[in-house]
Copies of this chain bind each other. A is one copy, B any other.
Amino acid sequence: MTDPSGFPPPPVAAPVIGIVGGLGRMGRWFEAFLRGEGYEVLVADLATSLSPEDLAARCDVVILAVPMEAFGEVAARVGPRMREAAFLTDLCSLKAPQVAVMLEAARCEVAGTHPLFGPGETEAAGLRVALCPGRGEVWIRWWEGVFRRRGVQTVVLSAERHDRAMAWVQALNHFILVALGQAAAETTAAELCDIAALATPSFQRQVEILARLAQQDPALYAAIQGGNPHAAAVLDRFCGKAERLRALLAAGDMEGFGRCFRAAQALGARLAKGCGRIPGEG
């Protein structure tokens, strides 16, 4: 039975899905999501009697929902116990190293999964997930269908392309927020209240992004900065542009500023025109 959306059923009837790290926040999110789709879900974590190895031997699909620091060790324990007809995936924020580690550790189908959202989201529709093929083409199509049926947007691309884009989406974005937060942290309380009270719609969005930081995990943010080999070049490019712009303004070269502004506007127009379209969504 093929889904009207064109996504196939799972390669085995009623697959059992295992989540390693299933007691973590993202692990619980996926457990609830998949149970909601009618799947049997097993969970292994530090506090469960079920070990990752036993879970791997019993499941058709294994999701590694573990921190990047523990990833290599967990994959090495789980991979060899998986059946060749099974599917191994993960939920890390970077994909090239993780997909390589999974390919090395297991002989089954492998794909990387990056949920582009946090575990606080209660409504699946409208969320986004990146999928990076590793080995095999059967399970990944089913996996994509699981998301699509719930209205989650899927973007399928190579782990390399994913990580290059994440140097902007995560590394540079967090970098700017941390620099902005550090600069603002030195204002007086009264000045900070003025700034918040006078925020324009544009700056209100910056304040919202900054306010979200308070709920994030510093270790994850450090791993994202330290683990992405493409990040350094992107941060350097941003800092170089900022430095040049600073020099223009310090010299009072408002024509030069105007040229820079119009270049940024042209980029804004490209983005506004819908480069944000999800590939494959008409």
Residue interface bits A158-173, CB-to-B below 8 A is 1, else 0 = 0001101110111011
User: Are B249 and A183 in contact, with the CB atoms below 8 A?
Assistant: no
User: Are B168 and A184 in contact, with the CB atoms below 8 A?
Assistant: yes
Residues of B near A182 (CB, < 8 A) are 241, 245, 260, 263-264, 267
- How far is it, in angstroms, between the C-alpha of A272 and the C-alpha of B211 when the chains are bound? 5
Is A268 an interface residue, CB under 8 A from the partner? Answer: yes
Q: How many residues of A contact B (CB 8 A)?
A: 102
User: Are A275 and B183 in contact, with the CB atoms below 8 A?
Assistant: no
**Closest Cβ of chain B: how far from A98's Cβ, in Å?**
16
Residues of B near A262 (CB, < 8 A) are 218
Main DSSP-derived SS at the A contact region: helix
- How far is it, in angstroms, between the C-alpha of A195 and the C-alpha of B167 when the chains are bound? 9
- How far is it, in angstroms, between the C-alpha of A242 and the C-alpha of B175 when the chains are bound? 8
User: Are A202 and B209 in contact, with the CB atoms below 8 A?
Assistant: yes
**Closest Cβ of chain B: how far from A276's Cβ, in Å?**
4
- How far is it, in angstroms, between the C-alpha of A204 and the C-alpha of B275 when the chains are bound? 12
User: Are B166 and A198 in contact, with the CB atoms below 8 A?
Assistant: yes
Is A250 an interface residue, CB under 8 A from the partner? Answer: yes
Known pairs A169-B199, A182-B260, A254-B226; A239 contacts B234 (CB<8 A): no
User: Are B261 and A173 in contact, with the CB atoms below 8 A?
Assistant: no
**Closest Cβ of chain B: how far from A180's Cβ, in Å?**
7
**Closest Cβ of chain B: how far from A156's Cβ, in Å?**
10
User: Are A225 and B209 in contact, with the CB atoms below 8 A?
Assistant: no
Residues of B near A46 (CB, < 8 A) are none
Known pairs A175-B242, A218-B262; A232 contacts B249 (CB<8 A): yes
User: Are B194 and A165 in contact, with the CB atoms below 8 A?
Assistant: yes
Known pairs A203-B173, A214-B269, A260-B178; A238 contacts B116 (CB<8 A): no
Residues of B near A4 (CB, < 8 A) are none
Q: Which residue of B lies closest to A177 (CB)?
A: B264
User: Are B214 and A195 in contact, with the CB atoms below 8 A?
Assistant: no
Known pairs A183-B237, A197-B155, A237-B183; A212 contacts B268 (CB<8 A): yes
**Closest Cβ of chain B: how far from A57's Cβ, in Å?**
34
A-B contacts, 10 listed (Cβ < 8 Å): A116-B199, A180-B264, A181-B267, A182-B263, A182-B264, A197-B279, A204-B276, A206-B209, A214-B272, A218-B258
